[in-house]
Amino acid sequence: MIKYFDGGMGTMLNLKAGELPEQLNITDPERVFAVHKAYAEAGADIITANTFGANPLKYNNCAEVVGAGVALAKRTGKKVALDLGPTGKLLKPMGDLDFEDCVALYAEVVKAGRNGADIVLIETMGDTYEIKAAVLAAKENCDLPVFVSMIFDEKGRLLTGADVKTAVAMCEGLGVDVIGFNCGLGPAQMIPLVEALAACSSTPIMVMPNAGLPESVNGNTVYNVTPDEFAGYMQQIANIGVSYLGGCCGTTPDHIKALIERTKDIPDRVPDYKNTTLVSSYSECVELGKKSAVIGERINPTGKKLLKEALRAGDMDYILKEGITQRECGAHILDVNVGLPEIDEVQMLTDAVYQLQAVLPTPLQLDSSDPVAMEKALRIYNGKPMINSANGKAKSMAEIFPLAKKYGGVVVCLCLDETGIPESAEGRIAIAEKMINTAAEYGIDKKNLVVDALTMTVSTNQQNAVETLKVVDYCKNTLGVNTVLGVSNISFGLPNREVVNTAFYTQALGAGLSGGIINPKSQSMMNAYYAFNALAGLDDNCTEYINSAVAVETVAASTAETTLKDAIIKGMKDESAACAKELLKTAEPLEVINAHIIPALDTVGDGFEKNKLFLPQLLMAADAAKAAFDEIKANLVNKGTPQVKGDKIIVATVEGDIHDIGKNIVKVLLQNYGFDVIDLGKDVKCETVLEKTIEHGVKFVGLSALMTTTVPNMEKTIRLLHANTDAKVFVGGAVLTKDYAKMINADYYAKDAMESVRIAQQFFGKG
């Protein structure tokens, strides 16, 4: 049978201005318990502790608040979910919260609530990186089931860009017990998302929508879906196949009671098992097995003099350029190997992974023979990587398989063991089977393994290519496991190596190769790849083949020299600063801004608005633009030229709301477009906004709110500003809609950060 969570807490508490819901666990516990009791009496099986925003960033007495919250929920006699909400901060490199600090914050909450709870509920999450931090904190500090519930927009994306399939890949890799959605949308809007989740998940599903979309009535936030309507939509969701249902903002005990009555006879249903091999970053997912993936081999020092020099010098820009170029040439996954005897591989690998995932959405293959370096890199990786590699030696499997189980990943299994590399296909297949069986003992499904049959040079044994391809074919068609190969090994010792590599690559693709580790900068290799897909019926209307011919020429031309615009678009801070400094030798600062920086930001902004680029890329481009602006400021100072300030804009998160992610993003982008932004911070009193608006003579004010309970303070602030100034107000935040903004008399509604820039440009006549 379906199990039922409770509904909204914040909207049930009728919070007064300045009241923090979690603090009531101590200051007014009976008020909190009354809400829990009402949901229990409505039939909820699981009561969510009032700990959503209780973390050490917000409460000095976090442990006390959490412990009291769990105890109050426990009094109902029902199962209790320890509730972990978002921290309110973006993680580095997009924000200022370190990943391990984030893990530690959540760990403190888990330790404080684990003894009384039955479930850890990680909810309202919009960032895969923060999800990973919370999941690790839960799994490392308790043995409770871990549920993850995310907040998607109507385009089916998380705040940081992941679609449903990409988010599921990481969550399932981390061993999450239940995956689902809550908040942001009403039940009607969630139906297609639940269908998408059921289509890609093998994990039980939970769904907890809001009671529709918010409206403002007489200064109060209300939701427009009645209990009966809510139950009707939830019946449709239940029939898709779920295990847990409940409600979020605006839902009441009446909503939960109606939901249970309408769905109690619908059996719970776990999605069918999906035999898909997925590798992911924070916003992209690659499925191995549908058609072969191109795995870029260029970030590997073997035989690469310039890369070795860059690694010894700590030149991360060289590595980033290699990554960017390989992506532009068509790589779907990037191999990252930084192993040199004379460098600190642990530090270098983690640095490389951190920097690469900051500027690229391409999934990575972490490549190291050092298990310490591998674990460090796996821990900070934002997604589900490939793990290169394990082999059939008992020691190797004992080191790598536990890491793969804990952090999630697709393990590359090399067909060698204590006896070496067998010459025959049969010998290598036996090792592959041993590794598949051993991985299963660690709880690793074979869909999360790929076999590397090992390419031995054909110049030393004429049968090497034949034997390798036999292994690829057998693994694909008999064992049902995916395969990879380092293709270029085949031609060592031969002339015209690329001819041999291309021919062998084509043969391997025909044998069913799931991923070729190749040089995507080789036009002949990529031509073979696209031609094979077209001939094998894997390229509709030969579209990719046709486009690739143009793309290769474009990339070859564009990679000859990095321009300032390129550096900003790609999020390369050091390169951006260097380009700006060079341009300033012959161009005026204003020309550099208008001809290079603003067009670059416009290109990124346009990609963001068209759902082609996502928040991480937007913010890294902003950082790169800032690096260029810093050079311009330094140039002006050196010349003794006074800096010209742009039009003034105030931004603030309204009173009672401590979430300033959205406001901070808006500030960064507005500053990059030349506006003089006065940031009043978070939890800003209405009177303070008015006072500062008058003091600074500001004509344009931006207000942010994430919590439903704080939107009335947004309305109050707008009312004060309109009554006492001629300033116009734009608003934004997860709980707002265009109609809601109109109801509270905002002058403009910004659906996202780029929209804020467009509105500001329009207001000041710069659009």
d(CA 733, CA 703): 9
**Upstream peptide bond of 389 is cis (omega within 30 degrees of 0):** yes
Q: Count Cβ neighbours within 10 Å for each residue of 677-703 and write b for 16 or more, e otherwise.
A: bbbbebbbbbeebbebbeeeebbbbbb
Confirm if 65 and 54 have CB atoms less than 8 A apart: yes
* Entry field: residues in the chain: 767
d(CA 502, CA 248): 55
Q: What residues form DSSP beta bridges with 684?
A: 654
Sheet with 146-150: strands ordered across: 3-4, 244-245, 205-208, 178-182, 146-150, 119-125, 79-84, 46-48
Confirm if 556 and 524 have CB atoms less than 8 A apart: no
CB atoms within 10 A of CB 70: 25
Please count the helices (runs of H) and the strands (runs of E) in the chain: 30, 25
Which of 620, 94, 569, 617 lies closest to 361 in space, CA to CA? 617
The whole-number pLDDT of residue 551 equals 60
Confirm if 574 and 581 have CB atoms less than 8 A apart: no
At CA 377, angle to CA 371 and CA 382, rounded to 5? 145
Cα distance from N-terminal residue to C-terminal residue, the chain: 56
The whole-number pLDDT of residue 560 equals 45
Q: Which two tokens stand for residue 58?
A: 């917000």
Amino acid at 263: T
Q: Is 155 left (phi over 0), alpha (psi -120 to 50) or beta?
A: alpha
Q: List C-alpha distances in Å: 616 to 316, 503, 651, 733.
A: 19, 39, 21, 18
d(CA 666, CA 717): 19
d(CA 440, CA 94): 37
Question: 648 by DSSP, 3-state: which?
Answer: strand
Residues with Cβ within 8 Å of residue 293, at least 6 apart in sequence: 279, 286, 332, 333, 514, 515, 516
Residues with Cβ within 8 Å of residue 258, at least 6 apart in sequence: 227, 228, 230, 231
Question: Regarding beta strands 748-749 and 515-518, do their DSSP bridges make them parallel or antiparallel, or are they unpaired?
Answer: unpaired
Q: What residues form DSSP beta bridges with 737?
A: none
d(CA 758, CA 737): 17
Amino acid at 139: K
Q: Which two tokens stand for residue 512?
A: 């069913």
Residue-wise pLDDT for 613-641, tens only, equals 999 999 999 999 999 999 998 988 888 87
The whole-number pLDDT of residue 558 equals 46
3-state helix, strand, coil in the chain (%, to 5): 50, 15, 35
d(CA 605, CA 672): 12
In what helix (H) or strand (E) does residue 637 lie, and over which residues does it extend? Answer: helix 615-639
pTM comes to 0.93
Q: What residues form DSSP beta bridges with 387?
A: 366, 411
The whole-number pLDDT of residue 553 equals 53
- Give the residue ranges of the chain where pLDDT is below 50: 554, 556-560
Confirm if 575 and 583 have CB atoms less than 8 A apart: no
Residues with Cβ within 8 Å of residue 304, at least 6 apart in sequence: 298
Which of 8, 31, 7 lies closest to 19 in space, CA to CA? 31
The whole-number pLDDT of residue 606 equals 92
Question: 581 by DSSP, 3-state: which?
Answer: helix
DSSP sequence for 314-342: T-HHHHHHHHHHHHHTT-SEEEE----TT
Residue-wise pLDDT for 501-551, tens only, equals 999 999 999 999 999 999 999 999 999 999 999 999 999 999 999 998 766
